[in-house]
Structure 1
Amino acid sequence: MTYTVSDDRDRVDRDAVWRLLSTEAYWGRWREREHLDRQIDASWRVVGVWDDATGATVGFARAVSDGVDFAYLADVIVDPAHRGHGLGRRIVSTMVDDGPGARFRWVLATADAHGLYSGYGFGEPGGTIMVRPSRNG
Structure 2
Amino acid sequence: MVTYVLSDAADRLDLEAIWRFLSTEAYWGRWRSRDDVEQQVRGAWRVVGAYLASTGEQVGFARAVSDGVGFAYLADVYVDAGHRGAGLGHRLVAAMIDEGPGADFRWVLFTGDAHGLYRTHGFRDPDSTAMVRPDRRG
Q: Work out whether the TM-score is over 0.5.
A: yes
The 5 A counterparts of 1:1-137 are: 1-137=2-138
- Structure 2: state its 5+ residue gaps: none
- Secondary structure class of the residue paired with 1:92: helix
- The structural deviation recorded for 1:16 is 0.4
Instruction: Tell me the matched-pair count.
Output: 137
SS at 2:125 equivalent: coil
Partner Cα separation in structure 2 for residue 52 and residue 91 of structure 1: 15
Structure 1 segments (4+ residues) deviating >2 Å: none
Gaps of 5+ in 1: none
The whole-number CA distance in structure 2 between the counterparts of 1:134 and 1:4 is 34
Give the structure-1-normalised TM-score.
Answer: 0.98
Aligned partner of residue 106 in structure 1, secondary structure: strand
Distance 2:137 2:42 in 1: 20
TM-score, scaled relative to structure 2:
0.97
Percent of aligned positions that are identical: 63
Instruction: Give the match's secondary structure for 2:72.
Output: strand
The whole-number CA distance in structure 1 between the counterparts of 2:137 and 2:46 is: 23
Q: Deviations over 1:77-108 (max 9, x none)?
A: 01001111111000000000000000000000
